[in-house]
Structure 1
């Protein structure tokens, strides 16, 4: 991380503490390990992020917006001045779960040789960190800072919207709590693909609230 100019590391429910062995392996970058923030869940870790990209080594049953490594670096750098951004890496052996990947706006997959696609966690971190570094240097060399006009909702705001949406479609009996099926997962995918702005999310929540008020009046 430090080699590529990255300094903020977040650990989610780590299985061990940052000990002397970890400091020794950090090889001159011990401050990153010592200053790592620790959260109990991924949802808590990315709550304040406006852009979250999760790493995935394989295609999933539920398709999600995908980025190439270079696109990932460019997108993270282009939005870093707007809000907090995050790259999420999974466990060494099993990666990220489907539920964890659904907390991400985009997935990124390294297009390795399908006949020998072995890539460990450290390699993946270094490769994607390199792409972030290259995107940052390109921005510096062009002397043009990104001026995105859109203000995107933070992760926790999106989660509140999804909870509100699920509540309303249960109230209207579009889905049932007993057999919700894949409706919410597919709606999440749709909104993730569309990536609505913060103002648009507020409009959608206003519509949901008006539906609830209409239901209450009829009751």
Structure 2
């Protein structure tokens, strides 16, 4: 890590509607020593309201990176954590703020990390949350659980700072051991596209709900977290499967069959095993 302890950690705000919340988030970050702010398609920015609410954290605002998509904001990150205020139909690997702080600090020792915060009124979409390795949930009062965006940033930033201070005291924090570089976010997105394409060619995806299979596979891979060598192996497997499917399709076309798993099963049934007793 750089001489600045939090240099590999970025705070990502998605489609923020009120510029004052951007300023408040910048202030919360600077309070805890964080400085890298990414803004995904903010509705109003730059803004004097953001400067006023930052209460002197204008350097964080001046250096903020404004992008159009979440993919751009998390590019280069090996760990992406998204904030979630509610339970999902398909549960994702979930951290509490303390676990989040420890995991982020341990990863940021040598790799880029992104913490993603959603819109003030509805948070992150399911598609955006699926791009995250983990979700983090702040266990607020269930009778009044709605947190201001800047407050949420403050809570998570505080836990990261506490993990840093514990490490500085020599206390051991959990770490993920890598012998190869961990896979970055954009490489995983490319893999998911390759995987979905291969499953479609195999006619494996549920015709009624094709996204459900991919959602669960995303959750699986986010839970195990691959390194680059493992990803390369799986990409090679997918390519081999695609090559086999394309070759099989040519064979089935030659026999007047429609390419696909159903036709492949029919063709297999027609091939009778050789009678060795007649030899």
Residues 96-121 of structure 1: CA deviation (Å, up to 9, x unaligned): 11111111000000111222223211
1:119 is aligned to 147
Quote how far apart the aligned CAs of 1:143 are.
Answer: 8.0
Gaps of 5+ in 1: none
Paired residue secondary structure (1:9): strand
Q: 1:153 aligns with which of 172, 175, 183?
A: 183
Larger radius of gyration: 2
1:23 is aligned to 51
Distance in 1 between residues matched to 2:188 and 2:229, nearest whole Å: 12
Report if aligned partners of 1:170, 1:176 keep a CA contact under 8 Å in 2: no
2:232 is aligned to 202
1:68 is aligned to 96
TM-score w.r.t. length of structure 2: 0.74
Q: Does residue 1:42 correspond to 2:52, yes or no? A: no
TM-score w.r.t. length of structure 1: 0.93
Q: Does residue 1:182 correspond to 2:212, yes or no? A: yes
Q: 1:131 aligns with which of 139, 159, 162?
A: 159
Q: 2:197 aligns with which of 162, 167, 180?
A: 167
Q: 1:179 to 1:21 in 2, by over 3 A?
A: closer
Higher relative contact order (CA 8 A, sep 6+): 1
Quote how far apart the aligned CAs of 1:176 are.
Answer: 6.7
Paired residue secondary structure (1:60): coil
Quote how far apart the aligned CAs of 1:156 are.
Answer: 0.6
Quote how far apart the aligned CAs of 1:48 are.
Answer: 1.3
Report if aligned partners of 1:23, 1:30 keep a CA contact under 8 Å in 2: yes
Report if aligned partners of 1:18, 1:34 keep a CA contact under 8 Å in 2: no
Deviates more, 1:18-27 or 1:207-216: 18-27
Report if aligned partners of 1:13, 1:40 keep a CA contact under 8 Å in 2: yes
Gaps of 5+ in 2: 1-28, 251-279
